[in-house]
Amino acid sequence: MGRKILFVTTDQQRYDALGCTGNTIARTPVVDGLAADGILYHRAHNQNTVCTPARSTMITGQYVRTHGVTSNGVPLPVDAPSVAEHLHDTVGYRTALVGKAHFQPGFDPEGKWTENCLAKQGSTGPYRGFDHVELAMHGYLRRWHYDKWLEANGPQWLDAFYPLINFASMGLNDEGGGDTDAPEVKHNPMPRGMYHTDWVADRTIAWLDSLDPADDWFCWMSFPDPHHPWDPPVDEVRRRVDWHDLDLPPGHPGSADKAIEILAQKPHHWLDWYEGRFQNMEGGPMKFVPGNMSHDQVREVSALIHVENELIDEALGKVMARIDERGWGADTDVVFTTDHGELQGDFGLLFKGPYHVDALMRVPLVWRPAPSAAVSPAEVAEPVGHVDLVPTFCEIAGAAVPDWAQGRALPTAPGSDRQWAITEWDSQFSHIGMHLRSIFRDGWLCTAYEPGPLYEGTEGELYELAEDPRQWRNLWDDPTYRARRDELVTDLYDNLPPERATKLAVEAPV
């Protein structure tokens, strides 16, 4: 018997969403306990700020420019490397993925991609090296395993979720709901047991129960929440968090005038989005204008996100309890992270997109090594990234790190030589053509804008996080910081891997 691996991901969860990272509203004792017993990474960064590119990095261990999935409309090639396949084939691990995958576009009315057809075909794999897959997305979308389960076990709840996709136009809905008419919010009447968060945990437990006690396994348990739409079971919301009691999030400017003052210092698409001149087509509903959002809407969205984070923590607790019951607790490593963050009121904004700030790039990351490994608890401040996950899984499993993996195994103590983390953005729409390259190093966050329809290539962002942790003061054009800016830009491009020879095509809306 070797060490087992439970890889837990959420979707669109901020670094500060957990108690162990400073949250004072959501109660997350399970993840907090894992952090107390393991390693908490305070500077983990994703390599892209939307779902499919970030998740493609998680499974391949490659930077975006290497695996080639630059946006949600670009499918990960079927022959792309997979850590699940590597662990399965080289060291005999049983493998499963339960929940959200999103390696291929979700906008797929014709059933073009395997991922979107498995449930309809009655298949649970194999898929991308996973022996077993059961998939879910955001609510009831008619095509994944959760949808088929809901049709069979709770057909009266099929319309309970917010309808994320308008199937007539194949676009994101932007209608408001809840108490405040907040965007992509709905009071969901379904009972908790029918909601996808508990379903993911229950199906994970069912797969674990199918294994032999001596099996080594790698299980990716992937929760669709707290990604929008925000529609957790309303009974859970009412008993947990009252949005009327919440302050505005710390990163909210507090007024429209202050938001405009902050956004005017940044490249123009920031303020243009806030005031409705730029459509954030790759990060949220196209018609959403952040400047029209009320403070109460921000509070209600935040309350729903806190509730979703609590439900995830409790679902993880159920799975951890089952692992202990199976006698695997001492030999199971748990890695917890998310694909990207959420603006959640920062700068007066909501959702995500081409905005390279901590709200979207800095992610929660906890690694609780198996107790049998005797690794001391620690907090690590040096920068790490999702690109480091594959080598970490290989180290846990005793597998050789494959040549195609570009990261390094995560450090287990402070004092490593980690110096920087890199995040990229490439718009999939030619009329936007935005290309951002960011580096975090030595407490500085620097983003270079490459030429395209919206920018000449001389623009950028520079923040000194010790003095400006909310990234409200852009120092890019301040001559006092020119040398620092130029040094960081040079370091950024010196450490970017080369782009793949043939760029992958955009094949879906997003």
Residue pLDDT, tens place only, 447-478? 999 999 999 999 999 999 999 999 999 999 99
- Is residue 147 included in any domain, yes or no? yes
pTM confidence score? 0.98
pLDDT at 326 over 70: yes
3-class SS of residue 54:
helix
Identity at 225, one-letter amino acid code: D
DSSP-H helix ranges across 384-476: 389-397
pLDDT at 281 over 60: yes
3-class SS of residue 205:
helix
Structural domain tally of the chain?
1
Contact 39, 365 (CB under 8 A): no
- Is residue 367 included in any domain, yes or no? yes
- Is residue 497 included in any domain, yes or no? no
DSSP letter, residue 28: -
Task: Give me the domain span that covers residue 107.
Answer: 4-255+282-421
Contact 299, 243 (CB under 8 A): yes
Residue pLDDT, tens place only, 126-158? 999 999 999 999 999 899 999 999 999 999 999
Contacts of 192 (CB under 8 A, 6+ apart): 198, 233, 235, 236, 311
- Is residue 261 included in any domain, yes or no? no
Q: How far, in Å, are 114, 245, 310 from residue 299 at the CA level?
A: 39, 9, 17
Q: How far, in Å, are 166, 386, 424 from residue 356 at the CA level?
A: 29, 16, 9
What tokens were used for 171? 């676009």
- Is residue 479 included in any domain, yes or no? no
**Percent share of the chain, pLDDT over 90:** 95
- Is residue 221 included in any domain, yes or no? yes
Q: Model confidence at 309, in pLDDT bands (50, 70, 90)?
A: very high
- Is residue 485 included in any domain, yes or no? no
For residue 257, the surrounding DSSP H or E stretch is helix 256-263
- Is residue 25 included in any domain, yes or no? yes
What CATH number does the domain containing 56 carry? 3.40.720.10
Place of tokens 């014709």: 110
3-class SS of residue 179:
coil
What tokens were used for 283? 């990060």
For residue 201, the surrounding DSSP H or E stretch is helix 196-209
- The Cα 17–Cα 312 span in angstroms is 11
pLDDT at 170 over 70: no
